[in-house]
Structure 1
């Protein structure tokens, strides 16, 4: 007779307890503990593990070499992956519903099937007919692309043994289950066990896998955090469903950098690569406008020109509102405090809204000066020649401009896009050559704003 036990598992972080708790001690979230039944049998067998015959050896004697990669024929995806899809790697891709995850992996699977051989697409959420309809719309119907609607991991393993694919897609990990576990699909126990099985299959057979995962309301990966530690690469697809632009970002990558991004445009025929993102982000840029300015930022190895818009309006009632889309709200509050203290700009009774056009989320501090100048322009009603001037620089709490890195690369990109003037930190001015545009070096935020006033 099997002995049945139960435990309570947090569905956010995977914390386990023998009794129910209102607040999880692991992640401090409320009402996330759910009961899962455990059935112990004498004949219960765990999934086989990889047996390694290697022995410890000096690091200098270890053979080193480049990983063998598959070319997905999607340059933006290859860029984020670090040059292509590594054999035997596990790649987790997440994103909001409807953002384009299934579209991207179907396009990638079709090209890999055409170039390298059999590809297996396992869907637990859609039927074969639905995937076929999407494939017809995307023109991604390879003869070596096999699709199946299945959620049982043991059955999926038999399909892999039978068809011997070179690439596998699992859509999604939250729908899979193992019969040995009595908990429901999507629970922490099922997700961990299914991911373990998939990792064993991929590593032992040297087959790369794409695994789709759901996200929570906060946009974070649903399920236990151990899932992110198990896989080799974590990709996040971001963007607004109402806009056509999508950003693919690597949150973890054992075979490349995590600072690269891929830019796509969603069209009727599928996701199309954007080879020149700067031109895309500046499409709607006006010649002169109040509160609109162009900044340059670097994502990985790629410099990008983006437009920052600011709107300052009087507060009608209550506390003034601060809203930011595309930049960190804490960074915005810091810049507002410097404008009030060092410049004397009266913002206590003003609502301030800042937006990065195109849906891009700016990392780093090189856009600080652009945000400050956009707010000042909107507050004072001063139009900026957005088509001619770019600005960049980090603002310190003392109101000084700190130097930034990759400035030469940024200026060359701005020059290529037709900009003739730039405002940069004075400490950066003499650290580059070969730039023909007019560069104005300033020491403080006050100097930069005065130059803006004099020019206009």
Structure 2
């Protein structure tokens, strides 16, 4: 009998190959391939015996007798918003994020809220902390009296054996999936094989018994531990907890949700007593904004179904002999390079030889192209040392020809801006109609920008007017 050959598996994407290499050919990650022990025997095919399988039962899609199960509402508004209205029974939810960002804190608060609302028993299984450590953390957060069942375990067989009998819990939290192991595999906990097998067994039990399963997954820059990306296709909902260590604000973002809208965000503030909800993120991100400063513009964005206003800051340095630096925080650096190229080629605005820095205030990361016009306004404002009016919001996508394209749901953006006291908006042109894009009942003046050179000319005219002493 031929000896089983070892496998070399990438711990970042899960790709398997026959020999070790420093760089994964599938995802391009360096130093992420580790050797995993082979299985004792390869799984046999369907043609090697076993007889005919049992018939699969098919049912009609239009079955009126099927009723949607009530969701488990945690009463944490931002968390329920991101999940689509609460946890769905018999579903699997994955929360990923950097170590120390607040994943365990959020889930401990959610489990205590479920127990307080008497939605059912809640089981919290920790593979990283002891029961006493979890209790101490709960005491600091004021949750010491919550009726949550705690356990410290890492064996999937033991966990499943405890959950298969007795009362069905409403929710089970596994913190974290990288610490769990299946004893039939020879690989170490945290490898792709262990993470996949552990998650598959726990998800199968959750579907069978009907409780909501919440898995915590770590993400590391080195790629030595299998992150939650290898689990995204196995679970129903994927949430990412974002934020910078230097900021007290945290963003919970849904990147996949089978039971609600994707790209929805919830905003929290990290305090001594845990995570506090931020019900009005726009007011939060603009709280420290100082008007009459060149190089700033307010962008009216949209995250999922929530309109969000945030300040875009730009700084342009003087020309110098060294190679200019181009840095962006909270925005795609490639998108910044494109906007700079369009400004130079289509509008004659020279950034050559100048350092350019772009920042999204508050630690938020923006991914939608509707921020192009606000970025261009901040860049030109910083270059010509003029001020974008502080009562003005900006949004619109920029094409390579310099045209400003329409964006989705402008009415929601303008309503949010008007609610926060903004009086003017620079928006994309709506075509031949010439009508303003402000919805009925919203007191905000809109100015349509069809081409980027109109924005440049407007800011240049403001600068000349101020030079002459006119307000």
Q: TM-score, normalised by structure 1?
A: 0.91
| Aligned partner of residue 383 in structure 1, secondary structure | coil
The alpha carbon displacement at 1:53 in A equals: 8.2
1:236–1:249 Cα contact (<8 Å) kept:
yes
Tell me whether 1:450 sits opposite 2:457 in the alignment: yes
Q: Bigger shift: 290-299 or 445-454?
A: 445-454
Structure-to-structure mapping, 1:23-102, within 5 angstroms:
23-38=23-38, 40=40, 55-61=57-63, 64-102=66-104
d(CA) in 2 for partners of 1:105, 1:219: 24
Residue in 2 aligned with 1:108? 110
Cα shift at 1:157: 1.5
| 8 Å Cα contact 1:187/1:223 also seen in 2 | no
What residue in structure 2 maps to residue 346 of structure 1? 350
Counterparts of 1:30-429 in structure 2 under 5 Å? 30-38=30-38, 40=40, 55-61=57-63, 64-114=66-116, 115-162=118-165, 164=167, 165-217=169-221, 222-223=226-227, 225-386=229-390, 388-427=391-430, 429=435
Task: Give me the whole-angstrom Cα distance separating, in 2, the residues matched to 1:443 and 1:376.
Answer: 17
1:60-104 per-residue CA deviation (whole Å, 9 max, x = no partner) reads 347554343100111111111111000011111011111110110
Post-superposition shift, 1:58? 3.6
Contact map agreement 1:14 1:223 (CA 8 A) in 2: no
Unmatched runs of 5 consecutive residues or more in structure 2: 43-52, 467-471
The structure with the greater share of residues assigned to strand is 1
Query: CA-atom RMSD, angstroms?
Result: 2.4
User: 1:226, CA displacement in angstroms?
Assistant: 4.1
The alpha carbon displacement at 1:433 in A equals 2.9
Q: Distance in 1 between matches of 2:112 and 2:180?
A: 23
The answer as to whether partners of 1:95 and 1:219 remain within 8 angstroms in 2 is no
What is the CA deviation profile of residues 353-385 of structure 1, one whole-angstrom value per residue up to 9, with x for unaligned ones? 010101111122222111111111111111233
The 3-state SS of whatever aligns with 1:169 is: strand
Q: Work out the CA distance in 2 between the residues paired with 1:87 and 1:221.
A: 29
Tell me the secondary structure at the aligned position of residue 356 of structure 2: strand
The 1:7/1:448 distance shift into structure 2, 3 A limit, reads: closer
CA distance in 1, matches of 2:402, 2:253: 32
Relative to the length of structure 2, the TM-score reads 0.89
Return the alpha-carbon distance in structure 1 between the equivalents of residues 224 and 16 of structure 2: 20
Shift of 1:426: 2.5
Residue 319 of structure 1 and its aligned partner are, at CA, apart by 2.0
Distance 1:444 1:68, change over 3 A: same
Offset of residue 313 of structure 1: 0.4
Gaps of 5+ in 1: 43-50
Q: 1:143 deviation in Å?
A: 4.6
Q: State the shift of 1:168 in Å.
A: 0.6
Aligned equivalent of 1:46: none
